[in-house]
Amino acid sequence: MLTDDTPALFLRTNSVPISIMKTMKKLLTLKLAFLLSLTFAFAQTKMAASSASKMTVDSVFQNYYEATGGQALWDSIDTYAMKRSYRSNSSADYDAEIYVSMADQAMSKSKIILKRNFIYAVKGSEGWLKIPLGSYDKVTKYQVKDLSQSEQESMRFEMYDLLVPFVNYKNRGLVATLVGAEKMDGVDVYQVELQGKGVKYNLYFDAKTGLLLREKKAHAGEVTTIDYSNYKKSNFGIMYPATLVQTSSKDKTKVSITSELAVNQTIDPEYFKR
């Protein structure tokens, strides 16, 4: 039987259910927000996976070319010169001047150690080393000796490696495989394996920028890891990494390298003479 006290009694007896309903509403809101965040994360993961599944080796390489100046510029490289400094805070520190003619398959690399200039060169099927004689403050004379086949092979790889190892890779007999998408130091990357006779590269490209971040090269029983950064624009318009950190599996020493690139400038033919 209802009385005048019924409404007040009803409210008092139902004050707890109302409180519970408010709490349940908050919990449902939190749960919905959590489910939405999971759905969003899943969608992002699915989109990333879909994007990765559409990538190919050549599209990874193409992204790099586009990020560093465009395919047309890369295709028009005839010669290049490079100055480098190698520093590990040891007596092994040196500077280098490098000259390359792609058409002649020729490369000259001067290693300047304690003001003395040791010149390594390959051209065609030949390779030689010029060793300075006498004091550095006098006119330099050189003793010339042949480079071993292994040394020549290393320089012919280096001719391309100094730019990027996948330049013209198919015509050079190299095979490239897309390993897949992964995380490297918190960055989304695509890993590519590039392999040829006696050499294997593992290359890691930033998935967003397309730039090459790391290279691992296995050759002649040694694994060399190079981290690339500080990309700069050359005189020709091609972007290149001006700062590198190199580590060898042999001595574990970290070598800091600074680099400066010039493309398609006239190179004196004397650099490629024995």
In this structure, the answer to whether residues 126 and 246 fall within a common structural domain is yes
Per-residue pLDDT of the chain (274 residues; tens, 9 = 90+): 545 555 544 444 445 566 665 666 666 666 665 555 555 444 444 444 445 568 999 999 999 999 999 999 999 999 999 999 999 998 889 999 999 999 999 999 999 988 889 999 999 999 999 999 987 667 689 999 999 999 999 999 999 999 999 999 999 999 999 999 999 999 999 999 999 999 999 999 999 999 999 999 999 899 999 999 999 999 999 999 999 999 999 988 999 999 999 999 999 999 999 9
Sign of the torsion formed by the C-alpha atoms of 205, 210, 213 and 217: positive
Dihedral, CA atoms, 5, 11, 15, 20, nearest 10 degrees? Answer: 140
Residue ending a domain, choose from 54, 76, 101: 54
Judge if 142 and 257 occupy the same domain. yes
Q: What is the CATH number of the domain that holds 241?
A: 2.50.20.10
Domain boundary among 6, 26, 54: 54
Domain tally, the chain: 2
The residue with tokens 């559409």 is 54
- Give the pLDDT of residue 267: 96
86 and 169 belong to one structural domain: yes
Q: Do residues 82 and 46 both lie within one domain? A: no
Q: Is residue 133 part of a domain?
A: yes
Whether residue 6 is contained in a domain is answered as no
Same domain, 179 and 97: yes
- Asked whether residue 2 is domain-assigned, the answer is no
> Where do we find the tokens 């730039």?
211
Q: What is the pLDDT of residue 37?
A: 55
Q: Do 229 and 102 share a structural domain?
A: yes
Closest CA to 224 of 165, 267, 148: 165
Say what the pLDDT of residue 140 is. 80
Domain assignment of residue 228, yes or no = yes
Torsion sign over Cα 235, 238, 239, 241: negative
Question: Within 10 Å of residue 35's Cβ, how many Cβ atoms?
Answer: 10
Q: Does a structural domain hold residue 188?
A: yes
The verdict on 159 and 40 lying in the same domain is: no
Range of the domain at 161: 57-272
Phi first, then psi, for residue 263 (nearest 5°) are -115, 140
Q: Could you tell me if 103 and 25 lie in one domain?
A: no
Task: Determine, yes or no, domain membership for 3.
Answer: no
The CA–CA distances, whole Å, from 10 to 16, 30, 71, 143, 172 equal 11, 30, 80, 110, 88
Distance CA 39, CA 56 (A): 28
Q: What residues have CB less than 8 Å from 176, skipping those under 6 apart?
A: 57, 58, 61, 166, 169, 192, 193, 194, 195
